[in-house]
Chains A and B, each alone.
Chain A
Amino acid sequence: MATETAVAADPASEQDNIIVARDVHKWFGNFHALRGVTTTVGRGEVVVVIGPSGSGKSTFIRTINRLEQHQRGDIIVDGVEMTEDVRNIDAIRSEVGMVFQSFNLFPHLTVMRNITLAPTKVRKTPMDEADASAMQLLERVGIPEQAEKYPGELSGGQQQRVAIARALAMNPKIMLFDEPTSALDPEMIKEVLEVMKELAASHQMTIVAITHELGFAREVADRIVMFDEGQIVEDLPPDEFFNNPRHERVRRFLSQIL
């Protein structure tokens, strides 16, 4: 079980860690999905999470915005502890953007309305203001011309870029990516990765991304965290992770996916 004191590369105090997880456990029925996960993520850090399917990596990042509830341990996001308290959860969720493997755009709303929905309903941003910033975001992800279309009329890569814009519209401090390119056709992976790279390079927000795009991990990640069997197996900067992992399990996994 990894302890993080050694790995926290930054000289990070507790305040500088926007995400703190201590001994997090989660069960689905009898299945022990998370078996004591302890880690921290610093402000502005880019963390790539990898691991075999069923290793708990997706469950873990879903506990960060409480789409899954952990049953033991503590998760503290931006100083707020994730508990039963509903107001805490909504407050945290509006600061944590999430991008899903299957896009999950709202098919009955136009691209524009997908993006402006949360700002206007949760933040009470005036409609024209929300429209203007939505348009900026669409330009940032490179598809301003699709604003009035419905999600079903876009390609997978375009949909995922809209999903990223939708999450960014809330000005989140943290962005969670749950295998954002796994459902895409090969020729569309690049356009989504480009957007993610641009986000990572801006260093405006903390990013936790599950992805098996190792080139992306090598290029932009500050740390790579590998999950297996509900635990963190390895947590290292990319160079060390690829060239000099401490666990044989990492080498075996890399050889399986490369």
Chain B
Amino acid sequence: MRYAETGFNLEVDLTRGNIERVESDPRDTELYLGGLGTSAKILWDRVPPETEPFSPDNLLIFSAGLLCGTPATGCNRTIVSTVSPQTRLMAFSMMGGFWAPELKYAGYDKVILRGKSPDLVYLWINNDKVEIRDATHLRGKGTVETAELIRQELNEPKAQVAAIGLAGENRVYFASIEQGRSSASRGGIGAVMGDKGVKAIAVRGTKDINVAQPAEFMALCNEVLKYIKFRNENPIPGVMPILAGLGSPQEMKVHDEKWHTENFMWGNSRVRRKDFWNEEVAKQWAETLDNMRTRLISCFNCPMTCGATISPPGLPTYMMKCFSKLTYTMAAFSDLEFGLGIAQSATEYGVDGFSTPQVMAFALELYENGILTDDDFPGMPSDNEGRFYWLLDRIVRREGIGDALANGTYWAAKQIGKGAEAYAHNNIKKHEQLPLKLSMLNPIYFLMYSTGEKINITQIEGQFPQAPWPTREEREEFAKDWFQVPDEKFKQILLDWEPRGEKSMPYYPTVEMCCDIVDWQERMHYIDDALGMCSGLSSFPLKPPYHIHNYPKFISAGAGIDMDEEKLTQAIKRYRTLVRAFNIGRGMRRKDDKPPENHWKKRFPELEKELLDTYYELKGWNSQGIPTKESLHELGLDYVAEDFEKRGIYSEEGTPSSETLAEEYKVKGGNRHG
């Protein structure tokens, strides 16, 4: 019997309309765990580097995590992976909600889509019965709307539906997949879904998920719940409220947005408004949120209430969480009422809440600077808010200038030319980042921005405090019950770390310490991505209930795989390296491992070089960021080394030939029919 996982994947060939239920190899679970780990293996095996994102040969994999469907609190993530049309690298965006557990109860760990459907379809997975159904009547419908229509049509209110909107159908490079109150939105995976002609996947399951050691597993779950209660009652002192507790940053709860609005940038990640927050704004925004927010809600089997149902006046209700609360507001220099209102349209269209506002602010900046002109904006309203609504519509329909903008700032700038590139200034690996511009280099964040292959800072940071408490007493207080550390040395680093003076940034923590801190932070995210755990209970917050010490026990008791910290760390390193290898195959090299040029004003080139060199070495990568033969061998990934040999990747000298895949790509993304 397979434990925690079902042991079966659904293989769907959309071109031929063929569906197969295929047993997976339990040895792969031991080596790559599940979720991202086993998906990365499938992508490596079956999607060679020549594969275009919009080729029928590209795979789109919806995977439940290894422990989804067990009683492990907060374990509900769907990991969607494919080749991103925007970065042209592996995208592995995750969504919470209710979809992954339902898929497990239906009897599957993954849904693997290949080929392209000639017409728009949706997939209906009802336990053993799986159908490809016509979705032409759903063309152009919103994501939330689609989910409701499908549930009605199937007469199955309990079906969980992951759907794309107009943006996905039109292959917008930052189109999302929306589901319940969650979305998998980074990297443009919704565009790949649209390219495959799949409007939605609906799933309903009523089967069992077994665990290997029931009593032990339940005891672990109860411990986690107990610790969540403890942490809810004992927020971390001396840090800003959103870092004090557990869960995703509690944006739906907090009214005080002084920190975000005064420290993050407005517009096209340009303007810092240091005196923005005042009593009047506070009052107005609190009123807006209180009036629109119906209820705080959670994902499957989680008490954290990070999300909310939002009902803007005169608009349909939708669900929201986290920082998309402010991204539209700040991009448009507007207020919360506007932000929550336009987010309703954006959710229905199915677009990413980070990239989209920046793309629109970028367009208006080009307009203000004469690079785009009135001819590019026929019929655009003159008021600021109206412009954003107008631009959103053009983008998701790929109409006029919207067709270029729909490819994101990097590709749009190339297409537009005339110096537009300088305005696409907030990208890493062609992907729009959080709007932050800071003064002095932070070496820990430098490494995370540079090497994080999910290409999103929130998906690698966590665990280690962002800044030292001013006094040693405060640091001691924090360290005293900090049992989540993988090694006692991390406590000492924190204790010695000062805001100013000799033991302060950028030279303290030392290069080696920074590398260890980043490696630990990243490791936790990669475990979550394989197990399907919400990072809000594990890798993201300080002092989380899941950590490197209890995870091996969860895997042993849950999946029946004999696991300890060392074996787990090795497994994570294995599939993390495989993600790297996949991207190396697609042309990514050291030159791509860098933050936006203007992220920090004060840079330290020598230190940065040393940081990257040392981190690469720790990871088992050579100076170009390519996993070495030796490290691949140690991880049992000789097949990767052989492939690299065959492709001549190791014989490159100095500057790699990697411009090939990443750059020569035809800039014109265009319509499905274009």
**A joins B in a complex:** no
